[in-house]
Amino acid sequence: MNTIGIAIGVLGLSLILIFVWMITLSMRRRRMETEKIAKEEAYRRALQRMRDQERKERLFKAESGHIPTMLYLAKEAERTNYKEAFFWYEKAAQMDNLNGMYGLVRICRRMKDDLVLREKLHFWETYIRANEGDLHAKLDAGKALIYGRGTDVNVAKGLTLIHEAADHNLMDAIIYMGDWSVSKDNISQSPSDSTYWYNKAAKMDSKVGMMKLGLNYLKGVGVSIDHRKACYWLERASEQGSAEAMYYAGDAWMDFGVNGNAVAYIWLFLSAHFGYEPAKLMRDNVGTKIGVDSVVGLQSLAKPLQKKIASGAVHPHSIIRALNKLYKRPIPIPHKGEEVDDGEIIESPTNDIFESIDGEMEIPFEQHEQAEVEKVESTPTVKSQYDEGFQQQKSVSFDYTPR
């Protein structure tokens, strides 16, 4: 009996010990799991702090002008946040980075319904072509930069682009530079530059350049007033069929000298015939001064000229020479191989406009480095980037502030 009792006691004690051991083991396992979870949480927090610190450093570098970091942030954000991606691509694009421009175009193409982004898309597509050497695109991008169409206003940068196109003899750019030199929007006007550019255009047989050079001589813009040279260039443009130049030639001759009104009537009659409306009233006013008989005679003289001009069969100086002979005019006609004396015109444009607004141009924080560039996909052509698969997004606001 005692043996059985002892056995039962030992068994009970064993069960108690086993139970206590199991509880202890369970508590130990639970403590180990808690410690493991705590360690993992601490590791995650430390990793997150490292990531936050790394992002702060990247933001600082990007905000300081480090282009590869801008592109990295833009590419990362493009997956989930178009607003942020747009912000960094635009920053890089404004610093003339080609990948930034392509990225910005790609983002804008995903938002075709947004009118503001559509205008930005047009600008950056044009600017990319300008960077590739398209002279017409340089002119268009330059105008957009000057007037802030699809981009921020940057007059100095816009003028640089247009100046490059003008230096490569793009006629529209040459005329624009002449116009800009005396424009009310130009904070550093230079009439002498205006005459320089118009003279360059005139020597390239531009009728617009000839007309505007003639007007500068007529009004004394950038040169001394010279009626003879003014009429020479206005009539050169008129010989090429410019109805507006004919009008100004008529205006220049009106009430000038003995035969001025006769010459004026001829040019005003031709200008009105070729569709320049303001010439009609001035022609009629001159007609009342010279009388009906003179008007009939001048019309019979002007009609053959009208046919030649319309057919493009007028040789340079032929009409000027004929009018000189008929009315004993002293309009200078250079000999073959010679040019009209332009000694007063400056030999090259001044740089005052660039110096006065150069401060507006953004200067990169440092030269473009290669660090982190491998994380940014290259963009070989516009088309390959534009046509990547994506879902059409709704129009959104792109007022993003990095944080």
Task: Give per-residue burial for 226-258: e unless 16+ CB within 10 Å, then b.
Answer: beebbbbbbbbbbbbbbbbbbbbbbbbbbeeee
**Average pLDDT of the residues in 16-30:** 86
- The letter for the amino acid at 19 is F
Identify the residue with better confidence: 358 or 349: 349
Q: What was the pLDDT predicted at 111?
A: 78
Task: Give per-residue burial for 127-159: e unless 16+ CB within 10 Å, then b.
Answer: bbbbeeeebebbbbbbbbbbeebbbeebbbbbb
- Reported as a pLDDT band with limits 50, 70 and 90, residue 178 is very high
Q: What was the pLDDT predicted at 253?
A: 96
Tens digits of residue pLDDT in 186-228: 888 899 999 999 999 999 999 999 999 999 999 999 999 999 9
Q: What was the pLDDT predicted at 55?
A: 78
Burial class (CB in 10 A: 0-12, 13-18, 19+), 224: exposed
d(CA 262, CA 253): 8
Query: Are 127 and 158 contacting, i.e. CB atoms less than 8 angstroms apart?
Result: no
Tens digits of residue pLDDT in 245-273: 999 999 999 999 889 999 999 999 999 99
d(CA 93, CA 72): 14
Q: Could you please report the per-residue DSSP string of 76-135?
A: HHTTT-HHHHHHHHHHHHHTT-HHHHHHHHHHHHHTTT-HHHHHHHHHHHHHHHHHTT-H
| Region of residue 134 (phi > 0: left; psi between -120 and 50: alpha; otherwise: beta) | beta
* Closest C-alpha to 199, from 222, 165, 183: 222
* Closest C-alpha to 350, from 179, 217, 192, 173: 192
Task: Give per-residue burial for 260-287: e unless 16+ CB within 10 Å, then b.
Answer: bbbbbbbbbbbbbbbebeebbebbeebb
User: With a threshold of 0.85, does the pTM exceed it?
Assistant: no
pLDDT(356) > 60: no
Task: Tell me the three state secondary structure of residue 327.
Answer: helix
* Closest C-alpha to 342, from 207, 146, 192: 192
Task: Tell me the three state secondary structure of residue 337.
Answer: coil
| Mean of per-residue pLDDT scores for the chain | 84
